[in-house]
Amino acid sequence: MKFLDQAKIYVRSGDGGAGCLSFRREKFIEFGGPDGGDGGRGGDVWLECVDGLNTLIDYRYQQHFKAKKGGYGMGANRSGAKGDDVVLRVPAGTEVLDEEGDTVLADLTDVGQRVRLLKGGNGGFGNAHFKTSTNQAPRRANPGLEGEERWIRLRLKLIADAGLVGLPNAGKSTFLAATTAAKPKVADYPFTTLHPGLGVVAVDGREFVLADIPGLIEGAHEGVGLGDRFLAHVERCRVLLHLVDGTCEHAGKVYKTVRAELEAYGHGLEDKPEIVALTKVDALDAETLKAQLARLQRAAKKKPLALSAHAGQGVREALRALAYVINEGRVQEQAREVAEPWRP
């Protein structure tokens, strides 16, 4: 299955059914009067967050979704049936934006969450609705109201507790494969990861979700390489694990390159808690390792971790550091929910 995290679709709610113009005609009833029923309401357009989906591939080959029109009113005061709704099922973490992509209309983060995007048109009144003491035989009925229509954009942002960032071939996929049951592609050339991946990490009796995204290179915010569009998948993370390849020429410069791309992207990524780690340390001699750690510490202004996912060195320490930050974030979020008054 292909991974698709963006889609543009057209949605339209159903038109309301027309009211009926009818009079009661029965034997021995001389003045039956009007009995035209109202039209049915058009179908709505709903968005529903469901379990079992992790991509927007369903909206790759179908982009138009229209709800059914409401039924017509009928004689004998029979109302028209309501039109069938359209329910768009999306994975957790899907944002719904307007056609230009500037305004967020809905953010579906919890399984079972439902949002009515467009309301169906109301059905028209039948002539029985217009009967009065001075107008006992009205000969008018209303047409149904038209439904709403618009183009929308769906954008998937994976829901993960921690995210991996770094240059291509920094060891992100290797780290994900070594710490989770995920099976990402691992090779000795850049850009082996072409779409984000998720894995569940278990450490010290606690679990959290780890996200891996394609590597960033200088100029990614301008579209160089694979660009920075995949950074949306780590926007919801509580902490970032910044991996720097220890075999590179200068670890400090590499770190600053990725940080510059995060700052250029914005959306709060530059302010997220960050854990810095030097990878592939099993391939370095003691003198080179010491020099690279010193360069990275000067650039990041914090003590980096030294790890090798291939050899298992320093991996548990990195996971514990991530788990600590994630747990602190959860505690603070729960405290805010208790402190803030409930709002309907």
Domain architecture of the chain: domains with CATH: 1-156 (2.70.210.12), 162-339 (3.40.50.300)
User: Does 180 appear as a known binding residue?
Assistant: no
Distance CA 216, CA 255 (A): 11
pLDDT digits over 2-60, tens only? Answer: 678 889 999 999 999 999 999 998 888 888 899 999 999 999 999 999 988 878 888 98
* pLDDT, mean of residues 230-241: 84
The structure tokens 């967050």 sit at 49
User: Does 282 appear as a known binding residue?
Assistant: yes
User: Does 215 appear as a known binding residue?
Assistant: yes
- Which stretch of 232-236, 242-246, 277-281, 303-307 has the lowest confidence by average pLDDT? 232-236
Distance CA 71, CA 42 (A): 8
User: Does 193 appear as a known binding residue?
Assistant: yes
Residues of the chain with pLDDT > 70: what percent? 92
Q: Crossing angle, helix 315-339 and helix 172-179, to 10 degrees?
A: 80
Give me the DSSP letters along 75-134: TTTBPPPPPPPEEEEE-TTEEEE-TTS-SEEEEE-STT-EEEEEPPPPPPPPGGGG--SS
Per-residue pLDDT at 1: 45
CA-to-CA separations, 271 to 194, 219, 230, 259, 319, in angstroms, rounded: 26, 20, 18, 11, 20
User: Does 256 appear as a known binding residue?
Assistant: no
Mention every residue, 6+ apart, whose C-beta is less than 8 A from residue 213: 163, 164, 165, 172, 193, 196, 230, 231, 233, 234
User: Does 191 appear as a known binding residue?
Assistant: yes
Q: 11 in helix, strand or coil?
A: strand
Distance CA 64, CA 86 (A): 11
User: Does 219 appear as a known binding residue?
Assistant: no
The letter for the amino acid at 159 is: I
Per-residue pLDDT at 64: 95
Tokens for 336, please give them: 């805010």
Q: 21 in helix, strand or coil?
A: coil
User: Which comes out higher in pLDDT, residue 212 or 15?
Assistant: 15
User: Does 197 appear as a known binding residue?
Assistant: no
* Range ranked top by mean pLDDT from 50-59, 116-125, 237-246, 248-257: 116-125
Per-residue pLDDT at 83: 94
User: Does 16 appear as a known binding residue?
Assistant: no
User: Which comes out higher in pLDDT, residue 189 or 292?
Assistant: 292
Is 235:202 a contact under the CB 8 Å cutoff? Answer: no
pLDDT digits over 145-179, tens only? Answer: 999 999 999 988 887 888 888 888 888 888 888 88
User: Does 57 appear as a known binding residue?
Assistant: no
User: Does 169 appear as a known binding residue?
Assistant: yes
Is 259:215 a contact under the CB 8 Å cutoff? Answer: no
